[in-house]
Structure 1
Amino acid sequence: MAVTWSCKLCMQRNSMDSDQCITCGRRADWKPRSEGEMEVYRRKDVAVQRAVRPAREDADVPRSDAIQSALSILLQILMTMMCPVRFLRMDEQLRVQHLTTITVVNGPGLVWINPFKSYHITKAVTLGVLDYVRVRDTMDGSERAVRGPRLFFLGPYEKLEGAGQGVSLTSMQYVLIQDKQTGERKVQRGPLIWIPGPREEGKVMNGVRLNSTEYVSVEDSLTGARRVEKGPCIWFPGPYEEWEQGSGVWLSSTEFVTVQNTLSGDKRVDKGPCVWFPGPYDQWTKGASASLTCTQQLHQSVIRLPRRLAVSLRTLAAISVSKRQLALRYITVVNKLTGASSMVKGPCIWFPGPYDSASAVKEAIVLQDDEYVKLKDISTGTRWVHRGKGLLFLEPTWRIENSMSSSGVQKSWGLRGREFFRLQVAPHLRVTKS
């Protein structure tokens, strides 16, 4: 086999005996200094070669180039027909069904499609600020909620279950949310835009506005705990709380409330003046204190009045009559816890204790020097006579006997120098004046 060498410009093989290329005339040790220089030399050499070659070879070269270009164009056409090209816009998605899987391609872009596989192009979902969609994955059954603003593309195995708009809540509103899957509740307060979850349902409600004299009694239906929230405020309930709104109780300086704690059973009395709020376990009753006046103080004020004004004797007589009509007020108090009874005399403003039960306000009996009353103690059966002058306060078990007047006060008999009483005991008590 003959040994040859190749020209580095035209790649012509030459024998080892020849020191120049038989085609381009380059020496065997020639090397191009750059790619550009090589292209220039090639173009010149091709022109020289075309000039040196016979006419038959010059006709064959362009024919072969035309055939190659035609074949390449035909191949591109066949490839385009077999694998069509699609241009995807920004809001388009290509979904291709393979033998066992699905693939997706999101736009924008240029994609090649296999014509032997089924495919279709879908539009993306444009979500605004308040918009949302519920999506379910058919592969694992999971669900999720997607909120805007965004351009949303479905996954390969996802389907739309529904769409809607979120709720805009102000600072005075809240939403009570319940999860259908777990049954759990929660509360979200405004201001916000609430987007429900895949299995959530919500109810929008307004907060409770409380002024300085209002309150809400709150009970947690899950734990049973109770509490009281007072104003002024905007009150928001918890997820399991039930509530009832009420107003505080105005108490003057002579009013009170008797309060019983239903949890512990304790009782107490809260006095005015104030705005009273009940506790979470309080039951209460409003009442007014008893105002007890004093006869002595009234007597003194009445006696001083004529002296300062220097009124007539007729006025003095009228005042002396009015003095008899005045009486000292008192009440009888029974403690329901211990059973002990007591008497409260004026002058005072009396407030009951938590276990006190008071009788109606009574008036003491005023006795002059010549007046008396007959009394009987119904608890012991003892009888006696109480003589004036003074004030008589009747105990709870005392009763007045044998009285011809409504007040029970009787006048004594005045005896002159030669008069006397004859007393007959049997068979009936009888007194005869002689």
Structure 2
Amino acid sequence: METGSVTTPFGQRPMTLGMLASQKAASELQADQSVDKWKIYRALCAAKPLLGVTDRALAVLNALLSFYPKNVLSEENGLVVFPSNDQLSLRSHGMAEQTIRRHLAVLVEAGLIVRKDSPNGKRYARRVKEGEVGEAFGFSLAPLIVRAEEIERLAAEVVADRLHVQRLREQLSLCRRDVAKLIETAIEEDLAGDWEAAFSYFRALVDGVPRTPSAERIKTTLEEMQTLREDITNRLETLLKAEKTSGNPAQTERHIHNSNPDSKFESEPALETKQGANSPETLEPYAAAPAEKKKHDDRNTAEAQRRPGSDGAGMKSFPLGLILQACPDMVSYGPGGSITNWRDMMAAAVVVRGMLGVSASAYEEASAAMGAENAATVMACILERGGHINSAGGYLRDLTRRAERGEFSIGPMLMSLVRARGGGTRRAG
């Protein structure tokens, strides 16, 4: 080490082994070494997560670099800058002096600059007769040259990790879309199986992804989502084969819905995540055997006839849990601010009907055409998308007429809202 290459800080600031190591590395700078100051600064901005520096510390470093007269850092031009805190404040957008001192200490601790304090702690330079700087006291930028290769390598690692996470996110988004649409298809086609449990497990996977997940967390969720997609696909293929071998054309005939292409409910929002889903441990085997489909349908029909308010209108009703998942605003209008059963749901629908200005006659016609449970479900959907509907009463009457003609199904409306609730909070995965 050269004589005089070690300088201790002025005043009560302690000397540390980290400072000694930084000064030792800076003293080994070769005369022919140089680096573009703005190129290395951009690399620092990319590598900041691995270097332990903040945005504001880098803003102070940017101000320090602006006081260096050349674009290329080299020992030939000197490497010490000596601006006052007032000058640094002007070039760091008015940052307070105490804040500047704190972030300068962060840069020194990170080994990106080296203090070269004068005997009285002031920053200044002595000039020779020709006007050139002879000796300067302030901050040496030599570590940026010495560590240039390390900084660029760290920046490349951060960029590579970011691209890896981006690719994992894309794969997860595609897999999520596949699972959501497959479950929606199964529900719409009224296929045998506990699809509500499958959907609950799907939402648990989605909601378990944090706002800023690591690559490992995304990878784990992606693997679980791919397994779920494979299970659902296999179940649907099994059901299709069973229907083909039964030889009954009525079972394979596709349900036709004359959906309004301009409806707000048919738009597909971006796939996102939200808080508060069922736990993955609640997943039950969500598919019944094809041979049990007839008993399953008969049991559902009998239960529907026993439900309060059911009038056998013929439209398929959906599980209450799925409806509340799609329309959480409805819960506030239930008795006591909660909905635990269909009786609470229909009571809340009456309150919402009056609040939205829907006439009693329009609601009664909807109940007659769709069934009491489905009419309450439609009211919940209208409440959820109230900002997109000019006349709730007119919209309900239009849906009632379409239901009477057999041209309306609640499924697309409901599943669209489920996806919308998932896409309105945060992005992960």
Task: Pick the TM interval, shorter chain.
Answer: under 0.3
Normalized per residue, the structure richer in helix is: 2
- Higher normalized contact order (CA 8 Å, seq sep 6+, divided by chain length): 2
Normalized per residue, the structure richer in strand is: 1
Q: What TM-score does the superposition give when structure 2 sets the normalisation length?
A: 0.20
